[in-house]
Amino acid sequence: MASTAVHRSPWPRSGKGPILAEGATTDSSEDRPDEPTAGPADGFGPSSSVVADDASYSAADITVLEGLEAVRKRPGMYIGSTGPSGLHHLVYEVVDNSVDEAMAGHCTRIDVSLLPDGGCQVVDNGRGIPVDPHPKYDDLTAAEVVLTVLHAGGKFGGDGYKVSGGLHGVGVSVVNALSDRVEVEIDRAGTRYYMDFIQGGTAKTPLEPRGNAPEGRTGTTVRFWPDPSIFEEITFRAQTLLERFQMMAFLNRSLEIRFRDRRMSDDGDWTSYRYDGGIIDFVSHINQSKEALFETVGYFESSEQDQEVEVAFQWNTGFNSDGVHSFANGITTIEGGMHEEGFRKALTNVINRYAFDRGHLKADKDERLQGEDIREGLTAIISVRLADPQFEGQTKGKLGNVSIRSLVERATNEKLAEWLEEHPNEAKALIAKAVAASRARLAARQARDQARRKSALDGAGMPDKLKDCSSRNPDECELFIVEGDSAGGSAVQARDPRTMAILPIRGKILNVERARIDRMLKNTEIQTLVSAIGAGLGDEFEVDKIRYDKVILLCDADVDGSHIRTLLLTFFFRQMKELVEHGHVYIAQPPLYSTLVGKEKVYLKDDQVKEAFLAENPDHSNDFQRLKGLGEMDFDELAETTMDRDKRTLLQVSVETAAIADEVFSILMGEDVESRKHFIQTNAKDVRFLDI
């Protein structure tokens, strides 16, 4: 789970927000000790405006952006945002090219380094980008075309790659467009070639030989420095990159991805990921902080023509029924798609058929299990590879190829049935768990029906403690979930009553990571949340019915506030996942400090901002006032610092990789104390991300 600072301008209701210097370097291999050796197989128009005179609007007014200029003009169209997620996307684009080489069988190791001067370097031991003249561009080599022409590369037809991970096909040319400087070295056929670019893709040195490549080495090296005039910040976060690289290593069996951060120490220790078990190891990793229902991790694979699938799965004793994570050509399909649909359908049919055949269920009692019953406690990874993936959906995170659904469904029907026959003890345990989940589901349905009948009889609508807004247009409405009645009272006075609703909650809500839905529905605070948001719960949640475009968590900036915030985020991710995926969940940022500069009061968000302020204003070292908790803040102070749309800062919560978020919530809110302790120690240096 990640967050992005959002200043002033709100995001559109249906949009998914973004999830986060120039320097010198050498051209030689001395900058890359322990280098990988050879692999085994050697135009926009003008912005919208009112035209005063139609006659004056002619062809001369149509702007055509040439080459990479279009990327610099509209970077969000190519990398999603100019915030932290867009910044890190540059690294992924370069690494994805190397992963494509691995998927083609020509690369075994990728080394990624964050450089002391703020740049990033990616080295692979693939075949090296071709350096011969391009048949279409007579004056350019193939390597120069790849770096300067959009939608150019070996993945668009031809025999370069059968499958590739590039989602939009814009690749390294976009990295070039959005960088201050880019340097490329290519080792191919015994020669090292070099070229570099400056100021958003302007060629500085055309491709030229620079002597011999190290003996036996082939591959590509890319170094780039993000353009500070494009991005909100140009500081990479190591943990964000590590999480992505680990996932890539899981999805590409036996590929080694190494990472080092040389910003603090020039040597930098390598962190290495390599998994010979592939997605089997991925499932074990996600479940390591959970109690496994049985030790075995199931696995099967199948292929036909230009597509293939592999699936790994294991049940745990938890109650989450949303542990199916799918990927296509290494790309996270967070919205699912045809491959996931085929697996879910076949899973339900196979488990029910086996249970009836073995007498675990009785047909005469209509005991058929529902999909959500069977998936309770299931962690599964579905990884498909196909020649022409069709991505769709709001975030381009949904796979639309119908043919892959048929392959996955057939493979699951056949291979999972075989696995159940070969593992009768495991089959019995998972069916018993599914039966218990079914009973809990029926009990929860009865509780919901009773609550609905009661509401209809007594005329109850929204919760008593909810101070609703007057607007009935969800696109402009916000719900502040506030810690405590006292803070709730201040927030009510500080709000804009037309568009801001206030819902105070008392204490810490139920930890849903350790509870089934029937128990959740008995919890008063959860009942209140479900009723206020108005879009249901769990499998019945419908994001189009939410009553507020923004659900904003407003908690104290202390340990208890962080815990309450984490409990709420766990609830939203587990039971209202689409609310998070569609970018409707935010975290308010009340400041920790205030100080006077002349007669003006200045508010400082946290210790990091305070230190930066002191560096510029050393005279204020003794003037600081640490602000009180939300409940003790004056309403006008709360309005000015935290709720006023023109002055506040919000963090928008987003999920780029559900499997990683699944693991994080299991660690933070599960039973494994050692895993939680290790996670906190590892992430304590970056409290902005630890808090969420």
Can you tell me the distance from the alpha carbon of 448 to that of 461, in angstroms, rounded to the nearest whole number? 14
Strand partners, 226: 179
Amino acid 395: pLDDT: 62
Of the candidates 196, 556, 662, 691, the residue annotated as catalytic is 556
Between residues 366 and 46, the one the model is more confident about: 366
55: pLDDT strictly greater than 90: no
Residue 451 falls inside a structural domain? no
The reply to whether 5 falls in a domain is no
Beta strands at 378-386 and 324-328: parallel, antiparallel or unpaired? parallel
d(CA 564, CA 554): 10
pLDDT, average across residues 369-398: 89
Report the Cα 26 to chain-centroid distance in Å: 34
Q: What pLDDT is stored for residue 539 in this prediction?
A: 79
| Catalytic annotation present for 464 | no
- For residue 299, being part of any structural domain is answered with yes
The answer on 332 and 229 residing in a single domain is no
What residues make up the domain containing 334?
280-440
* Cα separation, 373 vs 343, whole angstroms: 15
* Whether 269 and 287 share a structural domain: no
> What's the total number of domains in the chain?
3
Q: Give residue-wise pLDDT tens across range 188-210.
A: 999 999 999 998 778 888 899 99
- pLDDT at 76 exceeding the cut of 90: no
Tracing tokens 């009645």 back to the chain, one arrives at 485
686 part of a folded domain: yes
In this structure, are 359 and 298 located in the same domain? yes
Same domain as 684, residue 545: yes
User: Could you tell me which residue, 98 or 605, shows the higher pLDDT?
Assistant: 98
- Tell whether 476 and 566 lie within a shared domain: yes
Q: Is 482 exposed, middle or buried, given 0-12, 13-18 or 19+ CB atoms closer than 10 A? A: buried
pLDDT at 8: 32
**614 domain-assigned:** no
Q: Could you tell me the CATH number of the domain that includes residue 555?
A: 3.40.50.670
What pLDDT shows up at residue 608? 77
**Which band of pLDDT confidence, cut at 50, 70 and 90, is reported for residue 450?**
low
Per-residue pLDDT tens over the stretch 134-157:
888 778 888 888 888 876 554 434
Whether 681 and 548 map to the same domain: the answer is yes
Same-domain check for residues 266 and 309? no
Active site residue 671: no
pLDDT at 27 over 90: no
- Using one digit for the tens of pLDDT, what is the confidence trace for 476-532? 999 999 987 778 888 999 999 999 999 998 877 888 877 877 788 788 888 899 999
At 47 the pLDDT is 36
CATH number of the domain within which 331 lies: 3.30.230.10
Which CATH number covers residue 235? 3.30.565.10
Round to whole Å and give the CA distance between 312 and 296.
10
Q: Lowest-pLDDT range, 102-116, 229-243, 499-513? A: 499-513
Last residue of a domain, one of 393, 425, 440: 440
Shared domain check, 296 and 241: no
Residues 428 and 349 both lie in one domain: yes
The reply to whether 405 and 330 lie within a common domain is yes
Of these residues, 100, 483, 549, 691, which one is catalytic? Answer: 483
**Alpha-carbon distances of 519 from 512, 555, 564, rounded to whole Å:** 9, 25, 19
Question: Which pLDDT score, from 0 to 100, does residue 555 have?
Answer: 87
Q: Is residue 454 assigned to a domain?
A: no
pLDDT at 317 over 50: yes
Q: Name the domain boundary from 245, 273, 301.
A: 273
Among the listed residues 27, 35, 414, 560, the single catalytic one is 560
State the DSSP code for 692. -
- Whether the CB-CB separation of 309 and 407 falls below 8 Å is answered with yes
Q: Quote the pLDDT of residue 1.
A: 56
Reported confidence tier of residue 10, pLDDT bands at 50, 70, 90: very low
- Choice between 182 and 686, residue whose per-residue pLDDT is larger: 182
**What would the mean pLDDT of 155-180 be, rounded to a whole number?**
64
Last residue of a domain, one of 244, 273, 302: 273
Q: Which of 558, 611, 634, 686 is catalytic?
A: 558
pLDDT at 689: 38
Residue 51 is predicted with a pLDDT of 39
Query: Hey, what are 104's tokens?
Result: 């083609």
Q: Is residue 449 part of a domain?
A: no
Please tell me whether residues 354 and 229 are part of one structural domain: no
Q: Is the pTM of this model over 0.85?
A: no
- Average pLDDT score over residue span 416-425: 97
DSSP-based three-state secondary structure for 357:
helix
Residue identified by tokens 């400087």 is 181
Count how many residues are written for the chain.
Answer: 692
Structure tokens at 689: 């991300």
Q: What is the mean pLDDT of the chain?
A: 81
Query: Is residue 457 assigned to a domain?
Result: no
558 in catalytic set: yes
**63: nearest Cα among 49, 46, 77:** 46
The strands making up 324-328's β-sheet, listed across from edge to edge, are 298-304, 307-315, 378-386, 324-328, 331-332
Strand partners, 205: 196
483 is catalytic: yes
Cα distance between residue 508 and residue 567, in whole Å: 7
